[in-house]
Structure 1
Amino acid sequence: MMDAENTLILELETGAVTIELRPDLAPKHVERIKSLARKGFYDGVVFHRVIPGFMAQGGDPTGTGSGGSKEPDLPAEFSKEPHVRGVCSMARTANPNSANSQFFICFDDARFLDSQYTVWGVVTDGMDHVDALPKGEPPRSPGKIISAKVAADA
C-alpha cells in the first residue's frame, strides 16, 4: 500500500519516476526533499552528472554541482541501508554534514558508498526513465526534472 505523503513523483523528460521516501532512515532529509518539492525547487533542475553503471546526480539549481537551496545544510543521517540499483541518496562535499538539495539515484550496486551518504528513498517505478537520462559530467544536453511532487499533493 502506497503512503502518498511519503511518495515522491519525479516527472522527467523520459517519463515518471516514483520514489518511496524513507523517513524511518532519514527523517530530516525526507522532510527537506518534500519541503523543496512542495516549493517547486526541483522543477526544471537538471541531472548535471550522469555516470553509466554508477549514478545520476541532480538537485542543483545552478546545474553545476556546486549549488544548493537557501536552507541550511543537514546533519548526516547515515544508515546501513545498501546503495543498490534504485536507491536515492544525498550528495555532499567532503564534510559529512553538508547535504542540502543535491541527490543521486544509483544505477547499479554502489555499496562502497554505504554508511557514508544519507539514503532517503528508493525508486519503486520508472527506473527505466532514470536509465534513459543523457550521460556525461555534465551531459551535453542534460535531462531535467520537469516537476517533483509529493504524491499526497498530486
Structure 2
Amino acid sequence: MSWNRVSGSLSTPTVDVAIDMGNPFLNLTLDAFLKIGTVAATRAAAEDTFHVIQKGSISSKDFEKTLKKMCKEGAYWGTVAGVYVGLEYGVGRIRGRKDWKNATIGGAITGALVSAASNNKTESIAIDAITGAAVATAAEFINYLT
C-alpha cells in the first residue's frame, strides 16, 4: 500500500507599527488600542459588506453608516484593549512579577470598569469583573501553551 504525505505551513501576515511614546506603558497601551481597534473596525466593515451584498445595492447613507460603525467599534474595543494591557502591565510592575496573576487582576479590573462605564448595576459589575478575569486568565494560559 502506498502512503502519501502532504506537508505545509500556514502563516499569517504580520503588520507591526512602532510608535515610540517614550514609555513602555504608553507603548503597550497604544499598540493594543491600534491592533484591537483595527480588528474591530474590520469586523464591522465585513459585517456591513455582507448586509450590502445581501441587499444587492449600496447608498451613500449605507456607506456613511458603515464608516460611523467602524469608528465606533474600533474606538470602543481599542479602548477596552488599551485599558486591559495597561492594567496588566501596571499590575506586573507593582507586583514585580510577570505571571498569569497580572492577567487575572487586569482582566477583572477591566471587566469591572467597562461594566461600570455602561451604567450596570453592582451585580452585573461583579459578574463582568469575574468574566474579564476568566477570559484574561484563559488567554494567558492558552498563550503559554502555544
Same fold, judged at TM 0.5 (above): no
Taking structure 1 as the reference length, what is the TM-score of the superposition?
0.20
More strand by share: 1
Q: Relative contact order (alpha carbons < 8 A, sep ≥ 6): 1 or 2 greater?
A: 1
Taking structure 2 as the reference length, what is the TM-score of the superposition?
0.21
